[in-house]
Amino acid sequence: MDSPDPDRPATHDLGGNPRFRCTPVEPDDDAPPSAFDKRVDAVRSVLREKGLFTVDEMRFNIEALHETEYFGLTYYEKWLRSVTAVMVRKGVITWEDIK
């Protein structure tokens, strides 16, 4: 994952973009988290408890996603991308481990 371009607004910064004006949100309280979502949350939680991962690192990596990924991935897929990037950067895992 590349560092954000300081001359370009971050993908997550939607202020003033007419495409993303406020619209009513339909709550879906009946939709429980999937097994995938629960696993990603568990991995993130364990890594945080062990001091290997912070919320700031997660947010930075999610905000650095390319626009197609940012708008194409689910909430927990973004989390997983971020966790993976941080663990690779810190040498905990390698890209070869993931393949």
Query: What 3 state SS string does the chain have?
Result: CCCCCCCCCCCCCCCCCHHHCCCCCCCCCCCCCCHHHHHHHHHHHHHHHCCCCCHHHHHHHHHCCCHHHHHHCCHHHHHHHHHHHHHHHCCCCCHHHHC
pLDDT 10s digits, 23-48: 665 666 667 889 999 999 999 999 99
Kindly list the structural domains of the chain, giving each domain's residue range(s) and its CATH number in brackets, ordered by start: 53-98 (1.10.472.20)
Whole-model pTM over 0.85: no
Residue 61 CB coordination number (10 Å): 19
Residue type, position 42, single letter: A
Which residues have a Cβ under 8 Å from the Cβ of 11 and sit 6 or more positions away? Answer: 63, 65, 66, 67, 70, 71
Could you report the per-residue pLDDT of 65-83, keeping only the tens digit for each? 888 898 889 889 999 999 9
